Amino acid sequence: MYDDRVVLCGASAYEEKYYFNQDFAALPQSIQDELHIMCVLFTQDVGGILTLEYDEDGNLEFKVEALEADAMFDEIGSALKIKELQRTKGELLESLELYYRVFFLGEDMEENGENTE
């Protein structure tokens, strides 16, 4: 279905917009809402543009960009915020990776160490 990187969602402090990839519309609304809140709060706190992207192996990664002219962007705060989100939202992020691997990459849950019994 996909060849390279796939954006799950993202937010921009510059445009004050949130994006959610409709290919993932089957995710429960509560998860979609949590992603929305997480992305928007991130960009409000540190600025820039945040996207959550799957790599070709199904790993979910945080990508942060900022305009060169953006003197308000907090690069250190950005890295710290990502570490905090990975710690506090780790279970959600792992579940999203498993969802992608099973439903988009067609992997078997047993291959991912999941017990299906």
Domain assignment present for residue 115? The answer is no
Whole-model pTM over 0.85: yes
Domain assignment present for residue 34? The answer is yes
Domain assignment present for residue 65? The answer is yes
Nearest to 63 by CA among 45, 42, 44: 42
- The number of domains in the chain is 1
Residue-number span of the structural domain to which 48 is assigned: 6-110
Name the pLDDT band for 78 (thresholds 50, 70, 90): very high
Q: Supply 108's token pair.
A: 């078997």
Domain assignment present for residue 88? The answer is yes
Taking the chain, what is the end-to-end CA distance rounded to the nearest angstrom?
A: 28
The residue with tokens 């990502």 is 82
Q: What is the pLDDT of residues 102-113, one digit of tens each?
A: 999 999 877 655
Output the average pLDDT for the chain.
Answer: 92
Q: How many CB atoms lie under 10 A from the CB of residue 13?
A: 21
